[in-house]
Structure 1
Amino acid sequence: MDRASHQSDKKHAVVTVAICFLIAVIEGLDIQAAGIAAAGIREYFGLDSSQLGIFFSAGILGLLPGALVGGRVADRVGRKKVLIWSTAVFALFTLCTVWVNSFSSLLAVRFLAGAGLGAAMPILITLASEAVTPQNRGRAVGLMYCGMPVGAAILSLVASTDFGTNWKNIFYLGGLLPIIVIPVMMWLLPESKEFLKAKEQANTIDQQSAVQSSFKDLFNSKNLFRTILIWVSYFFTLMVVYIMLSWLPSLFMELGFSRKEGSTAQFYFMVSATIGTIILGMLTDRWKKAYVIILMYGGILAGLFALNGASSLTQMYWASALVGAFVIGCQGVLYAFGGIVYPTELRGTGVGVASAVGRVGAMLGPAVAGQLLAAGFGAAGVISAAIPCIIISAIFMLFLVRRLQQV
């Protein structure tokens, strides 16, 4: 029976992480979609640069309420159910992007698509975390989250084909893929065993205890300090992540390289990000947590300094790959920490709120970078401004590791 139970648990974990990986691939597609389709959307709707910036922000803004609500509802009614509905919302409004005819309706559907995607992300992290033993959570979240750069890299390749030259095809792809994945989730995705166990215990002990965990529990005596620490780290790390995701090709052009060379750098960034996310996730389980924090933030700093100091195209490609490996990998590790920091009954809520705080940084980062470029600081100024953000994140994560060791 023990062997049979072990095989069942292993199958449960593999299926869960694989399906969550597919949803993360779709998130990666969406992250790249707006930028790749920008030129076609600008022409189709007759937008100026300011309106195009608002279009970019609408999807990211939608992630905030989605992350806040999705994680909370998943703690109440179940991970699987909320993930299916949030994926359906994202798919529907991504397809609607193709069919709208006004700028206001374009913003509305991008916001709602972002809300669906924002609700899905904390559930993906929670499901991947709860599908494995606590000793393997970093690896599981890393394997799941590497789907994001895979999706972004795939869309970059699609964009270079005749199919990808039509902006509507980009959103058809982004909307139809999750519709295909939804039946797979309904059929194959198991509910979290930890959630079912916690729910059963709650029903046995106290019928009301299932709804007693709430947002305020993030700030009780046990969780207050760790909540603040992880929020600050999420905020500043995602600020740098989205500066790189949004501006890397443009920063290349600021440094005198061509648009095509900038796009190639973005591709190297995403490929190395996939590798870095997997390796850092595995190291999270095997090394002391403090060593992983020092490695990944040290790697980001090394990459930023390399970008600032590189003089040839080859050096810039290597620097882009170095930054990608560590900055996206770092985000995967932070998501894994969200699964470690909070108990089962609060995990979806905790990861969801932390993700929402991180998304605020994600919105501010590209805007701050744009202001720095407009003020004449150039690419070097943008890259230099990212360095203190990384140092602050590293310090707060090291404090969090120390706090977890004291418990």
Structure 2
Amino acid sequence: MDIQHGSGGTYRTLVDESPLSGLQWAVFVLCFLIMFLDGLDTVLIGFLAPYIGAEWKLAKGALTPVFTAGVVGLMIAGCMAGILADRVGRRPLLLAAVAVFGVANLATAYCASLEALVVLRFVTGLGLGAAMPCAVTLVSEYAPARRRAFVITSMYCGYTLGGAAVGWLTPIVAQQHGWRAMFVVGAVLPLALLPWLFWRLPESIGFLAERRRDRGAVAALLSRIVGRQVELPALPEQQKVEGNPLAIILSPAFRMRTGLLWLANGAGLLMTFTLINWLPSFLTFKHVPAQTASLSGASLQAGGAIGALLIGWLMDRFGSRKVVVGTYLGAAVASLLWIAVLDRSSAALLLMGFVAGVLVMGGQTGFQVLATSVYPVAARATGLSWMQSVGRLGGILGIQLAGMGIASDVDPISLLQALAIPALVAAVAAAFLHVTPRHVPGNAAVLKGG
């Protein structure tokens, strides 16, 4: 059996046609836990901002550099980690990333100044930014094609559930033990997971096969997936993967698709980072009780988890492009409705946060699925991480604009309604994905039917 990429009889065929094995479930669960911790530690600062601002007596908008530093760290790490993961493997980068954000959170618990907090959130962002693309790529390479969208979006639920957990825990832990205790939680959990990852998390079978690394390991992994011994013949020399991964995703065959993914994902992340960093503060500024504001943020994250599952299921059945376009059109409409619920009950605010999570954060998972299917294994981690990293420029822009608006006394509800604009940009960019080249083998299937 040949393990080359592209044609029938490949390692990919075995993975696609075999039932899910214990090995694959182990990869999915471990990466789900990584994503849970990634989500928890990414949104932690947004939920704790009102507590930090009150303790340090900060002016409105003073924490904008802290939010921005974290996203800059995410962006830089994403660019570097993708290229490294396509060179040295997904597993070592994941282990290092989890260690970095765990240690950085522990240091943040002892932070005594705004300047130190900026630096530590940047370092935390480096770890978080490296973890996500490696985890998504690893899962995509162990998931069968028939269930890939649902598996990836299910794993992405870990991210949103981690964020929701912060919203549920913050009113309890931060009010009773102070905001620093939440950073201790954000440190202990990833550091406790590290030994398990080291023991149980395998390297990507796709990476090992494409890079011609340790044929015995490839055979052993395939044998565990299919439940029988697998023999690997010599690989054709001409099938070796060559070329810089970044050059591949920017080549004429992928350039248009890459640009559209970057634009759509950037618009989506502008919405996502604005909401996860500013929503509790926005509502607090509108005199919503702190507990209700925090629970609204938790509802946002919970909606993201449900949305990810729903959207993954829909994408496997109706095509990724149609589902993503429809989701962001819905997000545009939902953004305009914040004013309708502000003066109503707390339940209405929680419901609105949930709906926003389903459409905005759930919709974001669609781009992860598209990116894993657009690029070949040799450039997959790079393509995914660069899409996320460049897209985070949109996240930085959203955080900055929101901070400037708050500092200028712009009504927070108007800022929430303005998110309809990037929602429309994301929908239009996703709608035009069908104009990208389809002749590259193995990369157009995800757009089928949509």
Say yes or no: TM over 0.5.
yes
Gap change, CA 1:47 and 1:265, over 3 Å in 2? closer
Give CA-to-partner distance per residue, 1:191-230, whole Å, 9 cap, x none.
2111111112999556995562331222111110001000
Deviation sequence 1:302-343 (CA, Å, 0-9, x none): 321322333522443322211111111111111111111111
CA positional deviation for 1:265: 1.8
Give matches, 1:161-176, under 5 Å: 161-162=172-173, 165-176=177-188
SS of match in other structure, 1:222: coil
CA spacing shift, 1:101–1:209, aligned 2, 3 Å: farther
Change (3 A) 1:44 1:371: closer
Does the aligned pair in 2 maintain the 1:202–1:210 contact within 8 Å? no
Task: Check if 1:268 corresponds to 2:299.
Answer: yes
Percent same amino acid at aligned positions?
A: 27
- 3-state SS of 1:161 partner: helix
| Structure 1 segments of 4+ aligned residues over 6 angstroms from their partners | 4-8, 43-46
AA matched with 2:77? G
Q: What are the residue-to-residue correspondences of 1:283-362 with 2, within 5 Å?
A: 283-310=314-341, 311-313=343-345, 314-362=347-395
Counterpart residue number, 1:278: 309
Q: Which runs of 5+ in 1 are unaligned?
A: none
1:263 is displaced (CA, Å) by 2.1
Write the mapping of 1:5-404 to structure 2, written as runs, cut at 5 A. Answer: 9-39=20-50, 41-42=52-53, 49=60, 51-162=62-173, 165-200=177-212, 204=235, 212-253=243-284, 255=286, 257-310=288-341, 311-313=343-345, 314-403=347-436
Structure with greater helix share of residues: 1
- State the alpha-carbon separation in 1 of the partners of residues 104 and 83 from structure 2: 22
Cα pair distance change 1:262/1:167, threshold 3 Å: closer
For the residues of structure 2 that align with 1:250 and 1:82, how far apart are their CA atoms? 34
- 8 Å contact kept, 1:202–1:209: no
After superposition, what is the alpha-carbon deviation per residue over 1:11-61, rounded to whole angstroms, capped at 9, x for unaligned? 232111111111111112112321333355457767555653222222221
> Structure 1 counterpart of 2:370, which letter?
F
Residue 277 of structure 1 and its aligned partner are, at CA, apart by 0.9
Give 1:59's aligned amino acid.
G
Indicate if the aligned counterparts of 1:272 and 1:324 stay in contact, CA closer than 8 A.
yes
**1:176 aligned partner, one-letter code:** V
Q: Is the 8 A contact 2:173 2:181 kept in 1?
A: no
Instruction: Calculate the TM-score normalised by the size of structure 1.
Output: 0.90
Distance 1:207 1:185, change over 3 A: farther
Contact 1:138 1:282 in 2 (8 A): yes
Q: Distance in 1 between matches of 2:338 and 2:349?
A: 6
With over 3 angstroms needed to count, the CA separation of the structure-2 counterparts of 1:382 and 1:42, relative to structure 1, is closer
How many residues align? The count is 405
CA distance in 2 between partners of 1:288 and 1:33 (Å) = 34
TM-score, normalised via structure 2 length: 0.82
Structure 1 residues 297 and 44, CA, compared in 2 at 3 Å: closer, same or farther? Answer: closer
Cα–Cα, structure 1 residues 211 and 365, in superposed 2: closer, same or farther, change >3 Å? same
Provide Cα deviations, 1:154-207, integer angstroms capped at 9, x if missing partner.
Answer: 122222224663222111111111111111111111221111111129995569
| Residue equivalent to 2:447 | none
Distance 2:255 2:129 in 1: 24
Contact 2:139 2:152 in 1 (8 A): yes
Distance in 2 of aligned mates of 1:355 and 1:379 = 27
